[in-house]
Structure 1
């Protein structure tokens, strides 16, 4: 786990005058450690042994708070539960349409797209999201064997 990322998130919480409770810290650490874009329920299941009195609502409330502050991104896909991603740096997602695996990818320069859209539409763009869908290497191998 990157101490730099944890420190970044804690500083963001402090700037927003938010108390850093042990449960909040644990949710944050889990998000940073797990590079698998977990659901709120997965985070809850992982942390409930350490915090038996914690509820799923506590996890959701903390994720919503982190999302509002801006260092966690909510990723709603289809009918399934939202997945959450710690994001100290702007990045995008490649998503396997077969197994659902999500991989982070960095592609600089998309801020130009925001500026172009602002000029074309008159909108003031606050953020953007890019998702690329395809088949991961493992699913490509499986489909070749079939």
Structure 2
């Protein structure tokens, strides 16, 4: 992930009328450095030394703001919301493989929508989401 991803994310926040705070920058930095899906609990844990009074409410409020602005993507796995930094630099439509053990993601360079559009002739598709869940090669090798 390019070094300026945090700067780009902060600029997106500012464009949408949100103020800069060091806490917001630090939350974004956690996602940029991890480059994988994280739970709110993982974010709280990563920031607890720097912000010992940080609450889940603050984390969730910022995470959902970041999703709304397009900085984070969200998914759900085992009834838990997970978030990751949006692929701000890739600039093309793609989907992800998500490791269920470590949260690592791999961008998939193919979209299955061509197939589904053929199957749904006459329908108007307004959006879609496609994710593949499994175990990555690193976790398989470690296990």
> TM-score range, shorter-chain basis?
0.7 to 0.9
Question: In structure 2, do the counterparts of structure 1 residues 120 and 70 end up closer, same or farther at CA, with 3 Å as the change threshold?
Answer: farther
Structure 2 residue 19 is the aligned partner of structure 1 residue 19: yes
Q: Deviations over 1:27-64 (max 9, x none)?
A: 11111111232111111111121112321111110000
| TM-score, L = length of structure 2 | 0.77
SS of 2:20 mapped into structure 1: coil
From the two aligned structures, give the one with the greater helix fraction: 1
* Aligned equivalents of 1:52, 1:141: Cα separation in 2: 36
Describe how 1:64-75 pairs up with structure 2 within 5 A: 64-75=64-75
The size of the alignment, in residue pairs, is 138
Give 1:103 deviation, angstroms.
Answer: 3.3
Instruction: Name the structure 2 match of 1:110.
Output: 111
Alpha-carbon RMSD across the aligned residues, in angstroms, is: 2.9
Structure 2 residue 8 is the aligned partner of structure 1 residue 8: yes
Instruction: Name the structure 1 match of 2:98.
Output: 95
- Structure 2 stretches lacking a partner, 5+ long: none
Instruction: Name the structure 2 match of 1:84.
Output: 83
SS of 2:51 mapped into structure 1: coil
Q: Deviations over 1:60-86 (max 9, x none)?
A: 10000000111201111122x211100
SS of 2:104 mapped into structure 1: strand
Q: Deviations over 1:102-128 (max 9, x none)?
A: 332333453964993786412433xx3
* Aligned equivalents of 2:50, 2:85: Cα separation in 1: 21
Bigger Rg over Cα? 1
Question: In structure 2, do the counterparts of structure 1 residues 8 and 119 end up closer, same or farther at CA, with 3 Å as the change threshold?
Answer: farther
Question: In structure 2, do the counterparts of structure 1 residues 74 and 111 end up closer, same or farther at CA, with 3 Å as the change threshold?
Answer: same
Question: In structure 2, do the counterparts of structure 1 residues 10 and 77 end up closer, same or farther at CA, with 3 Å as the change threshold?
Answer: same
Question: In structure 2, do the counterparts of structure 1 residues 141 and 47 end up closer, same or farther at CA, with 3 Å as the change threshold?
Answer: closer
SS of 2:77 mapped into structure 1: coil
- Structure 1 stretches lacking a partner, 5+ long: none
